[in-house]
Amino acid sequence: MSKAFLLHIDYAATKGAVLRLVLKRQDNGKVFRLFDNSAKPYFYLVPNSDDENVEAKVLKIKTFYQGTEAKPVSIEKVKKKLNGKEIIVLKVICSHPGHVPLIASESKQFGQPFEHQIPFILRYLLDRKLTPMDLVEVKYNGNLVESIAPVNSVELPPLRVLAFDIETYNKNVKSDPKRDPCLMISYATAKRSGVLTYGKKFTEKYVEVLANEKKMLERFCEIVRENHADVIATYNGDEFDLPFLTERAKMLKADFRLGRDKALPKSRKKGIRFASSIGGRIHFDAYPVIAFLNFIGAFKLERMRLQDAALAITGKNLKADIEKKDIHKMWDHGTQKELDYLAHYSINDSIACLAIVQNVLPLQIELAKLTGNLMFDSSRLSAMPLVEPFIMKKSLARGELIPSKPSYSEVSGRDQAPVEGAFVKIPDPGVYEKIAVLDFKSLYPSIIISHNVGSDSYNCQCCTQEGFVSPQGHRFCKKHKSIIADTLEDILDSRFAIQKTMKTMASKESEEYKQLYARQWSLKILANSVYGLTLNPRFRWYTRQGGEATTAWARQFIQEVNKKSEEAKFTVLYNDTDSIFLQYEHEKDVLKFREKINESLPARMELELEDFYPRGIFVAKKGDSKGGARKKYALINREGKIKIRGFELVRRDWSRIARRTQRSVLEILLKEGKVDEAVTLVRNVVAELQSGKVPLDDLVIVTQLRKKPSEYEIKSPEVSAYEKAIKAGLQVPEAVVSYVVTSKGKTISEKAYVREMAKDYDANYYLNHQILPSVLKILSELGITEDDLTTNSKQHTLGKW
DNA sequence: TAATTCGCTAGACCGA
DNA sequence: TCGGTCTAGCGAA
């Protein structure tokens, strides 16, 4: 009997229903592996009511799985709930996980199968109430599990992380393991870091020079073993580093046992990407995690390269200036200094990767624990598969059958037309003082909870008279909590509890605080994804009416608050979805108003005060001097902190000089209110631009190509710049193009060249298309015209204010 | 690629 | 050369 963290589970399909568990002892941190053959794969069958002899008939089902016979082993009768009613269902037990979907499909003639598409590992975790990354109490004999039970602890497993990165020979456009060797492998752990290479001399001590590439690969495995790595961290190792090394190892016949078993790393398609796994260790690819966090707005990256991510997350700039495409030149005939620099560059990448992973690992562990996914999956999954196990746990606890995945025809039959979205009140452009911003806390989740929205509560039989009725007339049950509402309530409850604890903590730097922060973040991610899923036709708990009702209630609540604000003599400046911008006289009036509103709201809903802002700017929509732009404003709070939304300066597809100038203008106006100072600043920028002395790096425009370059109907500047670069034989990555508008050519597309090819810039373009439009948007609210900025005319004062 | 929808904007394209 | 229309990318919620 011992207590251990459950790090990972996998199973070899060839061996049938035998699971392999990777565990880490709580007392001494030793990792060991056990097998569990006690779990039997199964599914449920709700028999057709008119058929009396279903059991016998089902037992006679025979089908084939990979050429061998597959039939049910036995049948048990169990009680389950379906649509709120308790019924007797058949639990059809099979001998191999692969048989389950086949036998379930055959059984359709006798009834309706349930829970036949649940992956075996998930089935095992759900039935034994086990949580990956959590503590378990396990009893075993030899390497066979006798019993295993959850302990449910807040303790996180202390994982030993080893990050690595490789450099490959790349004379051709892209390295191909069939042709190009791996030149270097660098690695980093909390205690040591180094570089492995071969056949060349290096000055630095951290470089270990092996006899050849094969020896380098084998030495790398040794290092992984010596460090007892639980987690192997990479940046895009899923699709590059691991498949590359594995292929090289096969070709060189190297002993490349990177894992804790004898198998080579495996690569298989997971959704749209490849995922590479290493036996007995967790391969943690930071790239999809960073991409996900960037997507949900945890931070904002212009580019998603390793060094950009490291800078954003750790604040440390580990950038080594090296052109990736020059690596083969440095290797073939670089000077000693260049070779040393290559090693330095490589080790930097491993160190950066380690730093990133150490930073995001707590969040990923928490996410895995919370949702019940293995961390290997939780770090790679999109919202739906991430959330599903979490709701399944709830279903199981309630004794309900889990709805099946919708079939292809069900999916295509579901309404995909857009649901009417949020309410937006357009602001009148201008500068305002004394703005209070209020917003609904977790608006959509709280509406779902307080109105019991859900697929299983919609149009119930029990409360035809007294259900929750949405503005458009959709009715939801008042007696039985929907599974979605139930789940969301759990999520919000634990999030608020964590936030409460965090407020009592003194140090925001402590490990404990960081862990709590990660937990509440993962809860937020989950809560926010549920509303979107209810409208996803592939979701098991899809409810079109639920989605429609949720946004309709949201619109109703916010307009109600607007009405009450006007009654209380506030001016409503702007609304978007869940926020209300009020103009006030006294702060205490706003606080009192908020309290009154909260008294009138359903228990779960709450209006929060975001902040008071002494001054703020809304700008006009282009070509419409009266209507203000949505999602575009700037505010300054009492501490002088500026909050900016939607302006060009937050967009990466604008040049740095335009963004910087716009930011300065906003800052001067919001902080000091001095229009003439802002005008002077712009004039200086204009003069500098016209002198031709602005560094090209400040003029770069970054745009992503979301399609293959050949698939574009319109040749935009970025596509044009990309094509010219390719024609010139330059190696530029397809995904993100950085270009400068030069003086060469007529149209903007013709003038656009990638940064590496640009020799000068078109001052007129940057003046008329970047600087002036971005600052005039703001300054024209204050009576400034284009002429004021480009010629020396009269000074402006703040008279208007 | 990610959840989903909407709005904003730039620049190309196209016909007069 | 113009103005309208269309394609496309980005950000906010």
pLDDT digits (tens, 9 = 90+) for A232-256: 999 989 888 999 999 999 999 999 9
Q: Over A282-317, what HEC string results?
A: EEEEHHHHHHHHHHHCCCCCCCCCHHHHHHHHHCCC
Pairing of β A701-704 and β A642-645? unpaired
User: Nearest residue to C12, CA vs C1'?
Assistant: A631
Nucleotide lying nearest to A630, CA to C1' measure: B7
Asked if strand C comes closer than 7 Å to A705 Cβ, the answer is yes
- Integer Cα distance of A279 and A262 in angstroms: 8
Match 């498949």 to its residue by tokens: A243
The nucleotide lying nearest A443 (C-alpha to C1') is C13
Distance A714 CA to C5 C1' (A): 13
In angstroms, how far is B10 C1' from A333 CA? Answer: 46
Q: What is the CB neighbour count within 10 angstroms for residue A654?
A: 20
Count of alpha carbons within 13 angstroms of residue A169, beta-carbon side:
15
Of the candidates A164, A215, A201, the one whose C-alpha atom is nearest the C-alpha of residue A347 is A164
Separation between the CA of A384 and the C1’ of B1 (whole angstroms): 13
- Nearest residue (CA) to C1' of B6: A421
The separation, in Å, between residue A384 CA and nucleotide B2 C1' comes to 10
CA of A623 to C1' of C4 (A): 14
Report the nearest residue to nucleotide B1, CA vs C1'.
Answer: A272
Sheet holding A701-704, edge to edge: A701-704, A736-741, A752-754
Question: What pLDDT is recorded for position A733?
Answer: 65
> Phi and psi of A91, rounded to 5°?
-95, 110
Question: Closest nt to A578 (CA→C1')?
Answer: C13
Rounded CA-CA distance A162/A281 in Å is 11
A169 CB and strand C closer than 7 A:
no
Residues (pLDDT < 70) of chain A are: 12-15, 173, 271-272, 297, 302, 318-321, 622-628, 731-734, 791-801
Spanning CA of A526 to C1' of B2, the rounded length in angstroms is 14
Could you tell me the distance in Å between the CA of residue A140 and the C1' of nucleotide C12? 53
Q: What integer pLDDT is reported at residue A797 of this predicted model?
A: 41
Whether A229 and A162 have beta carbons less than 8 Å apart is answered as yes
Question: How high is the pLDDT of residue A800?
Answer: 35
Strand C proximal to A704 Cβ, under 7 A: yes
- Rounded to whole angstroms, the distance from the CA of residue A336 to the C1' of nucleotide B13 is 54
Q: Any idea which nucleotide's C1' is nearest the CA of A651?
A: C10
pLDDT the model gives residue A222: 95
Query: Is any atom of nucleic acid chain C found less than 7 Å from the CB of residue A82?
Result: no
In chain A, which residues from 491 to 550 place their CB closer than 7 Å to nucleic acid strand C?
none
pLDDT in tens, A585-627: 999 999 999 999 999 999 889 999 999 999 998 887 766 555 6
Cα–Cα distance for residue pair A420/A30, rounded to 1 Å? 55
Please state whether strand C lies within 7 Å of residue A707 at its CB atom.
yes
Nucleotides on strand B lying under 7 Å from protein C-beta: 1-13
Burial of A473 from C-beta contacts in 10 A (0-12 / 13-18 / 19+): exposed
The nucleotide closest to A645 (CA, C1' atoms)? C12
Is the minimum distance from the CB of A714 to strand C below 7 Å? yes
- Chain C bases near protein Cβ (<7 Å): 6-13
Round to a whole number and report the distance in Å from the CA of A763 to the C1' of B14.
Answer: 28
User: Is any atom of nucleic acid chain C found less than 7 Å from the CB of residue A706?
Assistant: yes
The answer to whether A651 CB is within 7 Å of strand C is: yes
CB A537 within 8 A of CB A390: no
